[in-house]
Chains A and B, each alone.
Chain A
Amino acid sequence: MASSIALDAPVSEGFFKQSLRLIPGLLLLGAVGYAGRIIERSIATYGKAHHLTLPNIEYVLWAIIIGLAIANTVGVPKVFQAGVATYEFWLKTGIVLLGSRFLLGDVAKLGGVALVLVVIEIAVSLAFMTALGNAFNLKPKLTTLLAVGSSICGVSAIIAAQGAIDADEEDASYAIAAILSLGAISLFIFPLVGHWLHLSDQSYGLWAGLGIDNTAEATAAGALYSDAAGKVAVLAKTARNAMIGFVVLGYAIHWARKEHTEGVGNKAAFLWRKFPKFVLGFLLISAIATAHVFSKDQLGNIANLSRWAFLLTFAGVGLRTNIRELGKQGFRPFIVGAVGELVIAFLTLSLVFGADRFLPK
């Protein structure tokens, strides 16, 4: 999780020790991700050699399955855990590098449509999740965390909101567990539904980016469908992530008023603190690519670096998902999350169908 690794200033004495601690887990991420690539290639080679038409199962799925198998059988030993937790760092690095594959004009056009859909999705999801949490008699702050987690961007949003509204750690871990388990389920269901509905890469990518909460799962679900869908999913999810500061600020003010505690001082500073900086990095690389600073070969190399970063991410998604641990979390938060996710999935799918004619062809 994002909060589990904090990279200190490089000059501090502990930095080298910290870096050494990451190596075993990083090697495990690389091994699991690369094993996924080997399986994908081996199946393709076998099919070619024997003139068989075998389904092309992307390395993404293999990496996640291998990771899940390790995490839920032998478990991830402590020595690997710090390195495995870096998967979120690789996700963000991969997203920034992916910016090179978008021209700024495409970002403005597709991102503009996505942003409108994001605003509708967030408003409806927050209202629905709040009503649902109240109907199930969940604690108000747990309801807030679930609403923020399922409407914006999963774990990062919950962590940001927890600090801002001073919620219990227990509530945050319930909400995170519910969002993570639902994200793991969505990862497999979204591509199936997408294929069943014959969604185009663009529509599917938009749906995955809007409907799946955690950025890692949204990216993986997009990549499972196709490379092009993966790109659009990342863009839509990035537009959603950009809203995190505004929603968390709104809730921070709401709870400060309700509990008569000290409110948010400098709102602009608060927004900047909560704003996901990788969104700016994504836009910056996209702007540099649009200015034709990179040659075609260089753009290809940057795209490949982004794929390697995502390979580590997808391995981490599997390795950090412990099904038994998720099952131990509260039943009611899970039900509220599950019903909410289902409704949000339908809502976002309808939004995508409605916006189809506005999408750049």
Chain B
Amino acid sequence: MTTNIRRDGKPSKPAPALSLDSWAVVLALALSLAIWAGWITHVPW
């Protein structure tokens, strides 16, 4: 994990392990897997 230095010289927060996009992909794939495996059988709309 990298620690970036901000312009004011203070170290910024370490970069998150996974980006927001990657978390979104993980969640979407996990939900799709749950539907495929039959753990989620009905999603109303």
Given A288-B32, A301-B35, A89:B20 Cβ within 8 A: yes
Name the one of A6, A293, A298, A307 contacting B16, with C-beta atoms under 8 angstroms.
A6
Contacts A280-B25, A301-B40 given; indicate if A97 touches B20 (C-beta within 8 A).
Answer: no
Contact of A92 among B17, B18, B21, B32 (CB under 8 A): B21
Pair A2/B40 contact, Cβ less than 8 Å: no
Contact residues on B (Cβ < 8 Å of other chain), bracket: 20 to 34
Q: Are A2 and B31 in contact (CB under 8 A)?
A: no
Q: Which residue of B lies closest to A288 (CB)?
A: B32
Given A301-B43, A308-B43, do A9 and B24 touch, yes or no (CB 8 Å)? no
Known A6-B20, A288-B32; 17 more pairs at CB < 8 Å: A6-B13, A6-B16, A7-B16, A7-B20, A9-B17, A88-B20, A89-B24, A92-B24, A277-B21, A284-B25, A285-B28, A285-B29, A304-B43, A304-B45, A305-B31, A308-B43, A308-B45
On chain B, the residues within 8 Å of A112 by CB distance are none
> What chain B residues lie within 8 Å of A92 (beta carbons)?
20-21, 24-25
What B residues does A284 contact at CB under 8 A?
25, 29
Chain B residues with a Cβ under 8 A of chain A:
13, 16-25, 27-29, 31-32, 35-36, 40-45
Minimum C-beta distance from B34 to chain A (A): 10
A307–B43 CA distance with the chains assembled, in angstroms? 10
Contacts of A97 in B (CB 8 A): 28, 31-32
CB-CB < 8 A to B32: which residues of A? 97, 100, 285, 288, 294, 302
Cα distance, A300 to B24, chains bound together (Å) = 20
CB of B11 to closest CB in A, whole Å = 15
Number of chain A residues whose Cβ lies closer than 8 Å to a Cβ of chain B = 32
Q: Which residues of B contact A278 (CB under 8 A)?
A: 21, 24-25
Closest 3 CB pairs of A and B: A281-B25, A92-B24, A96-B28
**A–B pairs, 25, beta carbons within 8 Å:** A6-B20, A7-B18, A8-B17, A9-B16, A92-B21, A93-B24, A95-B24, A97-B28, A97-B32, A277-B19, A277-B21, A277-B25, A278-B25, A281-B25, A281-B28, A285-B29, A294-B36, A300-B43, A301-B40, A301-B43, A302-B31, A302-B43, A304-B44, A305-B35, A307-B45
Name the B residues within 8 Å of A100 (CB-CB).
32
Q: Are A277 and B22 in contact, with the CB atoms below 8 A?
A: yes
User: Which residues from B are CB-within-8-Å of A9?
Assistant: 16-18
B7 shortest CB reach to chain A, Å: 8
Which residue from chain B places its CB closest to the CB of A3 in the assembled complex?
A: B20
Judge whether A281 and B40 touch: CB under 8 Å.
no
A276 in the interface (beta carbon within 8 A): yes
Q: Is A103 an interface residue (CB 8 A)?
A: no
**How far apart are the CA atoms of A293 and B25 in the complex, in Å?**
18
Q: Which residue of B lies closest to A11 (CB)?
A: B17
Chain B min CB distance to A344 (Å): 25
List of A residues within 8 angstroms of B25 by Cβ: 92, 96, 277-278, 280-281, 284
In the complex, what's the smallest C-beta–C-beta distance from B42 to chain A, in angstroms?
Answer: 7
Q: With a CB–CB cut-off of 8 A, which chain B residues contact A277? A: 19, 21-22, 24-25
- Choice from A7, A280, A298, A304 contacting B23 with Cβ under 8 Å: A7
